[in-house]
Amino acid sequence: MQTTFWGIYCVWLRYFKVFRKSLIYGLVTTFTEPILYLLSFGFGLGSLIGTIKVAGMTLTYKQFVFSGIVAQTVMFQGFFEAAYGSFIRMYYQKVFQALAVTTITIPEILWGEILWDASKASFSVFVILLIGCLTGNFSVLGSVIVFPFCFIFAMLFASLGLLVAAKARTIEEISYPQYLFIFPMFLFCGVFFPLETLPKYVQWFAWLLPLTSVASIIRSCLLGLPVIPISILITTIWLIILITWSRRAMINRLVK
């Protein structure tokens, strides 16, 4: 079906208007969580641990965990906005259905949704990067380079959220992937500690999940670590699969 930038922009703008209208709510939900993680794990735990060795380089734990929180923010903000947000818009508010009988087409609605979710996640990422740079934990150049990549990674997790919303029969069912997929990734994909500390087979498994690669690429950019080539491949594969699958699933859900 016809897809134009204008149509996608109209959808994106609808989300932005709502965000701007309830700005306080938007700011609290967008910025509080990553800042709390930074304070607790970064400044709190980070001050206790001192330095660690990653890929032959010595880093402060604060640097390590700060960069991990960038990856975690990309995932949480992208996934939750898309999963709960798009479920509410599709199931309760019927925003998608109302848009789809105007000159906006369903493919445009779904692109607008994913791009908005990624934009919102990027707002959060921006703040973390800013704090990281100001506190001297990130390289400024690395932060500038990583920012557009974070947007793309957020699209990956937003697509995952959209897929979950398309498959969930009730809003409660979104909890399954949240507890069985998102939280394990949050804890075991290299956000808080280097994967090398885990048993070999757990490491292999962790590398199959998207967050490990995403965290690895983000950390490489921010801290000047060598990029692991397979992480780019894994991220690309997840991105293509999730975007294609989520869009197809949501179209099947909406259109009979």
Partner 1 sequence: MEKYLSENNLLVVENLKKIYSSKKSSFTAVDDISFTVKKGECFGLLGPNGAGKSTSMNCITGFYPINHGKILINNIDVHKSPKLARRFLGVCSQDDSLDTDFSVIDQMVTYASYFGIDKKTAQEKSESLLKRFFLDDKAKENVESLSGGMRRRLQVARALVGDPQVLILDEPTTGLDPEVRRELWDIIVESREKGMAILLSTHYMDEAERLCDRIAILHNGKILDCDTPQNLITRHAGTNIIEEEIRPGMKWKRPPNIEDVYLNLTGRGLNIN
CB 33 to partner 1: min, Å: 22
Radius of gyration for the chain, computed over Cα atoms and rounded to the nearest angstrom: 18
Cα 194 from Cα 208, distance rounded (Å): 16
Q: Which is nearer to partner 1, 99 or 156 (CB)?
A: 99
Residue 252 is a binding residue for partner 1 (CB under 8 A): no
Distances (CA, A) of 198 to 32, 64, 194: 30, 16, 8
Distance CA 14, CA 95 (A): 10
Compute the least distance from the CB of residue 214 to partner 1, in Å.
Answer: 30
- Would the CA dihedral through 60, 61, 63, 67 be positive or negative? positive
Nearer to partner 1, 3 or 51 (CB): 3
d(CA 57, CA 44): 23
Site for partner 1 in 85-124 (CB under 8 A): 93-95, 97-105
- Provide the 8-state DSSP code for 58: E
Q: How far is the CB of 94 from partner 1 (least distance, A)?
A: 4
Contact track, partner 1, 7-46, x by CB under 8 A: x--x--xx--xx--x-------------------------
Binding residues for partner 1, per CB under 8 A? 1-2, 4, 7, 10, 13-14, 17-18, 21, 93-95, 97-105, 255-256
